[in-house]
Amino acid sequence: MPLRFGYLPRNYDDMSKQTVLILEDDPNWQSILRELITDLDYKPIMASNYKEAEFELDRRLYALVVVDISLVWQDHADRGGVKLLKKIQGLSRRLPTIVVTGYPSMDLAIETLAELEAAYFFRKDEFDRRKFKAVVRDKALDDIALNTLSEREREVLTLMSAGQTNQEIADGLTVSINTIKKHVQSIFTKLNVNTRAAAVAKAAEQTQDPH
């Protein structure tokens, strides 16, 4: 079904909010972090383990990622969070990360802040909700890629999702094909993709409700 950016649903503002990925397996902390992120007007996407987080990371564009390093609270040696930080570090795009962990050590703090480039390190036993919110506001990226598209670029993307060629889009909008090509290239750049199919898929992933 084609995207309809020209006819946005009533809940579009909620669906197009900036998203924050949260990797946390403790239900109590999932609830705390979800509440805080929601209070800041972001849309939280929850993952309980590395595989879920890796899957979600590839599906959407995020403003920030919150990572619990020791994921299995029965097993302090579980390092799925560190694995995710390493994956994020290897991305072509910048993505800020905040570490929240219940099993801190000086070596772990040094590794995550220095080697893995985490933006901030929170200990759960000293967790300050007000400080967390301030750090999220400060470190989160300002705009998700979809929100940077102009009204005309959204219209072009809608027509692209319907399978129209550049010429068909140009004819329908009564503009030159060169103008459409410029819009398409701009869409590719803003969404960090290289093909029409990838652009449509990325936009759909950004606007869909995770539930």
What's the sign of the alpha-carbon dihedral 40, 45, 51, 54? negative
- Does residue 155 register a pLDDT over 50? yes
The tens digit of pLDDT for each residue in 77-124 reads: 556 788 899 898 887 667 899 999 886 666 767 777 777 888 898 989
- Does residue 76 register a pLDDT over 60? no
Answer yes or no: do 134 and 34 share one domain: yes
> 55: which residues sit within 8 A by CB, 6+ positions away?
47
Answer yes or no: do 70 and 38 share one domain: yes
Answer yes or no: do 170 and 187 share one domain: yes
pLDDT, average across residues 111-140: 89
Answer yes or no: do 155 and 119 share one domain: no
- Full domain range(s) for residue 175: 145-207
67 assigned to some structural domain? yes
pLDDT, average across residues 11-24: 70
Answer yes or no: do 133 and 149 share one domain: no
- Mean pLDDT lowest for which of 86-90, 165-169, 182-186? 86-90
Give CA–CA dist 24/36, Å, rounded.
14
Cα diameter, the chain? 63
81 assigned to some structural domain? yes
4 assigned to some structural domain? no
12 assigned to some structural domain? no
From the list 179, 183, 190, 184, the residue with the least C-alpha distance to 148 is 190
Answer yes or no: do 24 and 125 share one domain: yes
From the list 79, 61, 54, 59, the residue with the least C-alpha distance to 69 is 79
pTM over the 0.85 mark: no
